[in-house]
Structure 1
Amino acid sequence: MSKLLMTPGPTNIPTEVQNILGQDMIHHRFDDFHKIMENLNEKLKKIFFTQNDVYTMTCSGTGVMETAVVNLFSKGEKVAIVNVGNFGKRFVQICKVYGLNVIELEYNWGETYNINDIKKVISENNDLKGIFVTHSETSTGVLNNIKAIGELTKNSDILLIVDVISGMIVNEFRFDEWNVDCAVAGSQKGFLLPPGIAFVSISDKAKKALYKSDLPKFYFDLKVTIKYYNEKKETPWTPAIPIIRAAEVACDLLLKEGIENIQIKHTKLRKYVEDEVQKLGFKLFVKNPEARGNTLVTVYREDNLDLTKLRDYIDNEYNITIAGGQGKYNGKILRFGCLGLLTIQDFNNLFKKIKKYIEENN
């Protein structure tokens, strides 16, 4: 039996995509690969809802997070970072490593940001160069309102940089309409792909900053990436060829179903999971319904049930993997991923097993 991944990434991969991953290798400096790259870019633009090119890089999501930092800013420049969990904190860590002047807007895990805090930062800092925010905070299940921040930055020189690594596909995201300046995404979440490649798109406003940045970069130099794509439809460094080929097929599947239709389906799935887990005695970690995203449902309990033992039992006995907490919530929460091919039937099957475990161990 194959392992069923009910986590917020990586996800199980459709057969059509698996078949491409197993094909014979091609070379990345020849026309067949060039055509794949060009076709993939056009499909990604539809998924990002942008007229800008979407560049494919061989790295993890953290790699494109670092790409956004080192390409759009210079040492000592002031940026604000919305931190509502583990991955908002990661932006803080990256920016500090590269010597940026960081204003950290930190919130309790399970909460979204306060728009008035962002308005205050903008009004009090005329030298603010950028705002970083996570779309879907994978460590908590919070979905941040990106559009509202874009309304604040659209007529300014402030860049809006968004991590949509786990938010893309299953939650609404519109690059152009929401006035986003840089968005970074990863293959292993909503894209139905294995880990290994990531995507980045930048606005015209961000491109101006690109050529002013003085932060060190080599592998992650977007100027080189853009040059290679524009001139050759290639990547500057050896890419993950099988995953890029599979990405073209995965995008076909997503676009055929329709991005809006996928979001409707996953909204229904997420709400169903929320209702059913509460029947099992779990509490929802994200209290504000407006801040709950479709990527995952995060829960906790008020009794003494050992959640780590529950996860291990479900994984070892049934080959079903669910995610636990990160950081200070390790062992204290469960994170049920709602990405990819998962269905209500899959969750019904899981919840029967969890109910049996709770009855026998609580």
Structure 2
Amino acid sequence: MPENTVTPPAGRLVLLNPGPVNVHDDVRAAMTSPDQCHREPEAAALMARVREKATLLSGGDDSCTSVLLAGSGTAALEATFSSIVPDDGRILILDNGNYGERLWRIVDVHGIPHRRMEFGWCNPIDVDAVDRALADDPGITHVGLVHHETSTGMLNPLREIGAVVARHGRQLAVDAISSLGSERLDLRDDNIDWCVGTANKCVEGLPGVSFVTAPRERLEQLEHVRAHTFYLDLHGHYISQDRLGAPLFTPALQVMTALEAALDRSLDEGVQGRGARYDALAEQVREGLAARGVRFLLPPAERANSVTNVYVPDGMTYDELHDGLKAEGYVVYSVQAQLGGVFRVANMGQLDATDIEGFLAAYDRVVGKYAGPGI
């Protein structure tokens, strides 16, 4: 292949890991907001605006709202999955990757009554099997699903599963951490009862704030569900933020200010627009790597629009590939031990075609050191 010397500007790492992401200058600048007290009116106003904008991005209407939490997406997941299932209920966890397993680990560690359906890594979720499980087991009250399973790069069939869960009269809790903002998702149209998102992936904010979006009716009903945690009591956070207009505990105000800037950009671009931008970048990644003879983990129809999982080239290790690319200014990501020899290339965040062109050129140089000429 022809020599290509595109490189990122000095001091900039191009983050091709699935979050945190390269953010817009407006988002980064928002982190320099003035020091403030979290119990003052301006902090309450900030929290109210961010809650409203997160709800809009999730497809919620006036009957829905969002609850903000200081912490990564896992904090919001734990708040949700430890708070929504009553003692006489049970949640069905749909598991086809590392993050489906994480949902199971959350409910298991809290002693939440549950059933786990394992489909196997890289295998699509069988919607008909979910339908049969709900028909056969009336004791299941909730279903937990990962929308974008980034351990494999698979986009799970949210709309189809949501329709099945709604038809059986159960509640659907969705880990939308790696999909919200770029993949089609709508709280109402997809029959989502609990939608968990975070700042630092496809929303293109900075790490440290996550959120749960739900119908107000669902959040009010948590009054009758026993809390399993103190700090991550979802109903407690909702009551404080919604009725008292104040955070339950000290929030990450500067990160929340950056999240508002990111949400403004997300809403301006629109999910469809951002999805189209990500589609184009993902296609550039995939076409470029295919031309270099890589093997992909998933077939095209199963891939999300923001992550591509591929095998490390023969003749080198992941560490050699990662370290060589990082020295060139590009950061890729490994996959969990269950998929040894696979790495991830994400196209989330403020990236453009030049960044992908530069990555492919750097890939050629790094792989060429181990594979020799002719790649």
2:314 paired with 1:303:
yes
State the distance in 2 between where 1:303 and 1:245 align.
Answer: 45
Indicate the residue corresponding to 1:48 in structure 2: 58
Deviation at 1:281, TM superposition (A): 1.8
8 Å CA contact 2:279–2:305 kept in 1: the answer is yes
Q: 1:327 to 1:101 in 2, by over 3 A?
A: farther
CA–CA distance in 2 between the matches of 1:314 and 1:141?
A: 21
Amino acid at match of 1:116: D
2:226 maps to 1:214: yes
Aligned to 1:193: 205
Structure 1 contact 181–206 (Cα < 8 Å) conserved = yes
- 8 A Cα contact 1:75 1:99, kept in partner: no
Residue 340 of structure 1, CA deviation: 0.8
Which residue identity does 1:298 align to in structure 2? N
Deviation for aligned residue 1:298: 0.6
Q: Which amino acid aligns with 1:26?
A: Q
The Cα of 1:76 is off from its aligned counterpart by 6.5
The match for 2:325 is 314
Q: How does 1:178-327 map to 2 (within 5 A)?
A: 178-204=190-216, 206-207=218-219, 209-287=221-299, 289-301=300-312, 303-315=314-326, 317-327=327-337
Q: Which amino acid aligns with 2:345?
A: F
RMSD: 1.7
**Given that residues 284 and 356 in structure 2 are in contact (C-alpha distance below 8 angstroms), is that contact kept between their aligned partners in structure 1?**
no
Residue 5 of structure 1 is matched in structure 2 by 15
Give the whole-Å Cα distance in 1 for the aligned partners of 2:221 and 2:298.
36
- State how far apart, in whole Å, the 2-side matches of 1:153 and 1:206 are: 16
2:360 match: secondary structure: helix
Which digits, 9 at most, give the CA deviation of each residue in 1:151-175, with x for residues without a partner?
Answer: 1122444110000011111111111
Alpha-carbon distance in structure 1 between the residues aligned to 2:350 and 2:172: 31
Taking the aligned partners of 2:221 and 2:130, their CA distance within structure 1 comes to: 22
Q: Is the deviation greater in 300-309 or in 241-250?
A: 300-309
Alignment match, 2:164: 152
Cα distance, 1:68 vs structure 2: 1.1
What is the distance in 2 between the residues matched to 1:311 and 1:195? 22
Distance (Å, rounded) in 1 between the aligned partners of 2:50 and 2:313: 47
2: distance between equivalents of 1:205 and 1:233?
Answer: 18
Q: 1:32 is aligned with what amino acid?
A: E
Counterpart mapping for 1:21-100 below 5 A = 21-51=31-61, 52-75=64-87, 77-100=89-112
Q: Kindly tell me: are residues 304 and 111 of structure 1, through their superposed partners in 2, closer, same or farther at Cα, counting changes over 3 Å?
A: farther
Shift of 1:234: 2.0
> How many residue pairs end up in the alignment?
359
Number of the residue aligned with 1:350: 359
Counterparts of 2:221 and 2:345 in 1: how far apart (Å)? Answer: 39
Q: Give the structure 2 partner of residue 125 of structure 1.
A: 137
Opposite residue 70 of structure 2, the aligned amino acid is T
- Asked if 1 retains the 8 angstrom alpha-carbon contact of 2:68 and 2:209, the reply is yes
Structure 1: runs of 5 or more not aligned? none
> Is the 1:159–1:206 Cα contact (8 Å) retained in structure 2?
no
Report the alpha carbon displacement of residue 196 of structure 1 after superposing the two structures with TM: 0.6
Name the SS for the 2:298 alignment partner.
Answer: coil
Runs of 4+ displaced beyond 4 Å: none
Q: Decide whether the 8 Å contact of 1:281 with 1:301 is kept in 2.
A: no
**Cα distance, 1:327 vs. partner?**
2.8
CA contact (8 A) 1:111 1:291 kept: no
**1:217, distance to aligned residue in structure 2 (A):** 2.0
Q: Please identify, of 301-310 and 18-27, the stretch whose mean Cα deviation from structure 2 is larger.
A: 301-310
The question of 1:338 aligning with 2:347 is answered yes
Match of 1:111 in 2: 123
Return the TM-score normalized by structure 1. Answer: 0.94
| Structure 1: distance between partners of 2:111 and 2:42 | 42
TM-score, normalised relative to structure 2: 0.91
